Amino acid sequence: MMELMPDAAAALRASSLRVLADAQAGTGAIIASRTFSQYDYCWFRDSAFIAHALLVSGEHERAGRFHRWAADVVMRESDTIERAIADRRAGKPVDPSDILDARFRVDGSRGDEPWPNFQLDGVGAWLWSLREWVMTCNGGSAGDVADSVRLAGDYLAALWDQPSFDCWEEHGGQVHVSTLAAIYAGLRAGSDLVGEPEWRAVAGRARALALGAGASGGRLRKHLGSELVDGSLIWAGVPFGLLDPADPVMTATAHAIEADLTGPTGGIYRYLGDSYYGGGEWIPLAAHLGWYWAKAGQPDKARALLNWVESTATPDGLLPEQTLDAVQQPPYVKTWTARWGPVATPLTWSHAAYLILDRELRRARQDQR
């Protein structure tokens, strides 16, 4: 892929920032996609990455508005969360209604349609992102969100090893390694914010499980008991820090993602066998893999992925969720289009992931001068 000319790259950065701004409601919630009806919600996971993109782009106030909205939602759900914690500590099954939903309406209310909401990775990702914002903008003090941090941290510490839906909202009966990585990062971040040493001990147990039963053949695997590779495993290195980017297990995982999941046009599949809109090449995953390569000292690989992401932009500077040029299961393109319409464009997370990778590479260039 050709690198964009400076003016074109600047225009895409500006378009991306506009998409992020347009996606943020007055409450502070960040909508996954304004133009795709099924994504007219705020997900903790997506928005954790989006808030981080706002942070590194200098949009500190916008990032803070999201984090305060998320903290308010956690407190609003406190009775539900505390019941889940109590049941788990008592050795009882957690009632499916007593979990923190993965997505909420912009006013902080729950959706009323069936959805695979038990997704622990979103809570962990939010605590990681919140810590980054607090350390940059709030003097290192959790301040008025401390109670929310304590509640979210206790929730993760109690439920960390429970089977849940993965970040793709699938395989609800499994323990997913990228979820363990998000929990690890979230518990450590929460401990930094409110000083809970026990959470670090639980984070250590999550890491041990990920590197034990969650690894096979010298690399991480999609979930316990599976040999599949998943694009979300890259988060174990960057940004969640379960492993150092240079750790041999992390390096082997990144190479497996690159070898098994790179599509014919240069993007990254979620996993082999994916059928959602045919299983295309995902913009956020390509950008996140590029982010990893940048941190791992492989700027050429990171730049190639940035160039691919840029190549997927529409003429008016919008990035989709995935491309359909080289899908794994073509018949499903028609199936999903009939059900929900065209692929989400723009996807707010795609623009956020692009901004993070672009900034990482531009900063690296500056450091070399």
| Contact in structure between 207 and 249 (CB atoms under 8 Å) | no
d(CA 27, CA 106): 7
Neighbouring residues of 183: CB distance < 8 A, sequence distance ≥ 6: 120, 121, 123, 124, 156, 160, 203, 206
Q: Is residue 169 flagged as an active site residue?
A: yes
CA-angle at 320, arms to 262 and 331, nearest 5°: 65
Q: Is residue 166 flagged as an active site residue?
A: yes
Neighbouring residues of 207: CB distance < 8 A, sequence distance ≥ 6: 180, 184, 242
Phi and psi angles of residue 98, each rounded to the nearest 5 degrees, phi first: -105, 50
DSSP 341: -
Q: Is 213 helix (H, G, I), strand (E, B) or coil?
A: coil
**Hey, what are 89's tokens?**
């500590």
Phi and psi angles of residue 151, each rounded to the nearest 5 degrees, phi first: -65, -45
| Contact in structure between 349 and 50 (CB atoms under 8 Å) | yes
Q: Is residue 321 flagged as an active site residue?
A: yes
58, 234, 320, 356 from 211: Cα distances, Å: 35, 14, 33, 27
**Hey, what are 207's tokens?**
């890491």
Please count the other Cβ atoms lying within 10 Å of the Cβ belonging to residue 94: 17
**Hey, what are 98's tokens?**
């007593």
**Hey, what are 360's tokens?**
């990482």
Q: Active site residue: 121, 166, 230, 310, which one?
A: 166
Q: Active site residue: 169, 170, 258, 260, which one?
A: 169
Q: Is 164 helix (H, G, I), strand (E, B) or coil?
A: strand
Q: Active site residue: 121, 192, 310, 321, which one?
A: 321
d(CA 180, CA 165): 12
The residues that are catalytic are 166, 169, 321
